[in-house]
Amino acid sequence: MKLQLRFPSHLHEVPNTAEVILETGARINIERAYVDAVRSEIIIDVPNDKAEQVVSLFKQKGVEVRKLVKLITWDEDRCIHCGACISVCPAGVFRFDHTWQITLEEEKCIRCNVCIKACPMCALASVDDHA
Protein backbone atom coordinates (compact mmCIF):
# COMPACT_ATOMS: atom_id res chain seq x y z
CA MET A 1 0.00 0.00 0.00
CA LYS A 2 1.26 3.46 -0.86
CA LEU A 3 1.15 6.14 1.79
CA GLN A 4 1.81 9.85 1.65
CA LEU A 5 3.46 11.19 4.80
CA ARG A 6 3.64 14.89 5.66
CA PHE A 7 5.93 15.83 8.52
CA PRO A 8 5.50 19.12 10.39
CA SER A 9 8.70 21.19 10.56
CA HIS A 10 9.24 20.46 14.27
CA LEU A 11 9.64 16.74 13.41
CA HIS A 12 12.33 17.19 10.74
CA GLU A 13 15.15 16.24 13.09
CA VAL A 14 13.37 13.17 14.50
CA PRO A 15 14.07 9.80 12.81
CA ASN A 16 10.37 8.85 12.70
CA THR A 17 10.63 6.60 9.66
CA ALA A 18 13.50 4.62 11.16
CA GLU A 19 11.61 4.29 14.42
CA VAL A 20 8.49 2.99 12.65
CA ILE A 21 10.56 0.46 10.71
CA LEU A 22 12.22 -0.78 13.91
CA GLU A 23 8.97 -0.89 15.90
CA THR A 24 6.88 -2.66 13.22
CA GLY A 25 9.49 -4.67 11.35
CA ALA A 26 7.87 -3.38 8.15
CA ARG A 27 9.97 -3.21 5.01
CA ILE A 28 9.23 0.35 3.94
CA ASN A 29 10.33 1.54 0.52
CA ILE A 30 10.69 5.31 0.14
CA GLU A 31 9.61 6.03 -3.43
CA ARG A 32 9.73 9.82 -3.43
CA ALA A 33 10.83 12.40 -0.90
CA TYR A 34 10.79 16.18 -0.64
CA VAL A 35 12.31 17.96 2.33
CA ASP A 36 13.03 21.64 2.94
CA ALA A 37 13.08 23.93 5.97
CA VAL A 38 9.30 24.37 5.97
CA ARG A 39 7.83 21.02 5.03
CA SER A 40 8.66 17.47 4.17
CA GLU A 41 6.63 14.91 2.34
CA ILE A 42 7.42 11.34 1.34
CA ILE A 43 5.63 8.64 -0.58
CA ILE A 44 6.29 5.19 0.82
CA ASP A 45 5.25 1.68 -0.16
CA VAL A 46 4.38 -0.57 2.77
CA PRO A 47 3.44 -4.26 2.76
CA ASN A 48 -0.36 -4.55 3.05
CA ASP A 49 -0.14 -6.75 6.14
CA LYS A 50 1.77 -4.03 8.03
CA ALA A 51 -0.03 -0.97 6.63
CA GLU A 52 -2.48 -0.33 9.48
CA GLN A 53 0.24 -0.70 12.10
CA VAL A 54 2.53 1.69 10.19
CA VAL A 55 -0.27 4.24 9.70
CA SER A 56 -1.14 4.12 13.39
CA LEU A 57 2.46 4.62 14.54
CA PHE A 58 3.12 7.54 12.20
CA LYS A 59 -0.08 9.23 13.37
CA GLN A 60 0.93 8.71 17.01
CA LYS A 61 4.19 10.50 16.21
CA GLY A 62 2.32 13.53 14.80
CA VAL A 63 2.77 12.74 11.11
CA GLU A 64 -0.10 13.36 8.68
CA VAL A 65 -0.79 10.11 6.82
CA ARG A 66 -2.86 9.59 3.68
CA LYS A 67 -3.50 6.23 2.04
CA LEU A 68 -3.08 6.65 -1.70
CA VAL A 69 -5.91 4.71 -3.26
CA LYS A 70 -5.69 6.01 -6.83
CA LEU A 71 -2.47 7.59 -8.05
CA ILE A 72 -3.19 8.83 -11.54
CA THR A 73 -6.09 9.05 -13.97
CA TRP A 74 -5.71 8.34 -17.64
CA ASP A 75 -8.31 9.46 -20.17
CA GLU A 76 -7.82 6.85 -22.88
CA ASP A 77 -10.15 8.75 -25.25
CA ARG A 78 -7.83 11.80 -25.18
CA CYS A 79 -4.62 9.76 -25.43
CA ILE A 80 -2.98 9.70 -28.89
CA HIS A 81 -0.38 7.10 -27.80
CA CYS A 82 2.54 9.39 -28.62
CA GLY A 83 4.80 7.97 -25.90
CA ALA A 84 5.67 11.30 -24.23
CA CYS A 85 4.74 9.76 -20.86
CA ILE A 86 7.02 6.78 -21.48
CA SER A 87 10.04 8.96 -22.14
CA VAL A 88 9.75 11.00 -18.94
CA CYS A 89 8.41 8.53 -16.36
CA PRO A 90 11.16 7.64 -13.85
CA ALA A 91 9.19 4.66 -12.49
CA GLY A 92 8.36 2.87 -15.74
CA VAL A 93 4.60 3.18 -15.30
CA PHE A 94 3.91 3.49 -19.03
CA ARG A 95 4.87 1.27 -21.95
CA PHE A 96 3.78 0.39 -25.47
CA ASP A 97 2.02 -2.93 -25.90
CA HIS A 98 2.48 -5.14 -28.99
CA THR A 99 0.02 -2.94 -30.97
CA TRP A 100 1.87 0.29 -30.09
CA GLN A 101 -0.83 1.40 -27.69
CA ILE A 102 0.05 2.88 -24.30
CA THR A 103 -0.59 0.70 -21.27
CA LEU A 104 0.09 1.58 -17.68
CA GLU A 105 0.93 -0.17 -14.43
CA GLU A 106 -0.45 2.29 -11.90
CA GLU A 107 0.99 0.43 -8.90
CA LYS A 108 4.47 1.54 -10.04
CA CYS A 109 3.51 5.24 -9.88
CA ILE A 110 5.49 7.37 -7.41
CA ARG A 111 3.25 10.40 -7.93
CA CYS A 112 5.95 12.69 -9.29
CA ASN A 113 3.51 14.18 -11.86
CA VAL A 114 6.20 14.47 -14.56
CA CYS A 115 4.02 12.56 -17.04
CA ILE A 116 1.11 14.95 -16.46
CA LYS A 117 3.25 17.92 -17.48
CA ALA A 118 4.63 16.06 -20.51
CA CYS A 119 1.31 14.87 -21.98
CA PRO A 120 0.45 17.08 -24.98
CA MET A 121 -3.20 15.97 -24.90
CA CYS A 122 -3.79 16.47 -21.13
CA ALA A 123 -4.87 12.82 -20.93
CA LEU A 124 -3.25 12.33 -17.51
CA ALA A 125 -4.19 13.88 -14.18
CA SER A 126 -3.15 13.61 -10.56
CA VAL A 127 -5.69 12.23 -8.14
CA ASP A 128 -6.22 13.50 -4.61
CA ASP A 129 -8.50 10.58 -3.76
CA HIS A 130 -7.50 8.98 -0.48
CA ALA A 131 -8.89 6.81 2.26
Q: What would the pLDDT profile of 35-91 be if each residue is shown by its tens digit? A: 888 889 999 999 999 999 999 999 999 999 999 888 888 999 999 999 999 999 999
The pLDDT tens digits of the residues spanning 119-130 come to 999 999 987 644
Burial class (CB in 10 A: 0-12, 13-18, 19+), 120: exposed
Domain count, the chain: 2
Q: How far is CA 19 from the centre of its chain?
A: 21
More confident site: 10 or 84: 84
Same domain, 10 and 48: yes
Q: Whole-prediction pTM value?
A: 0.72
Find the domain containing 17 and state its range: 2-68
> In this structure, is residue 48 part of a structural domain?
yes
CA distance 34 to 1: 19
Q: What is the pLDDT of residue 130?
A: 42
DSSP symbol at 90: T
Same domain, 48 and 97: no
Do 46 and 54 meet the contact criterion of CB atoms below 8 Å apart? yes
CA distance 114 to 93: 11
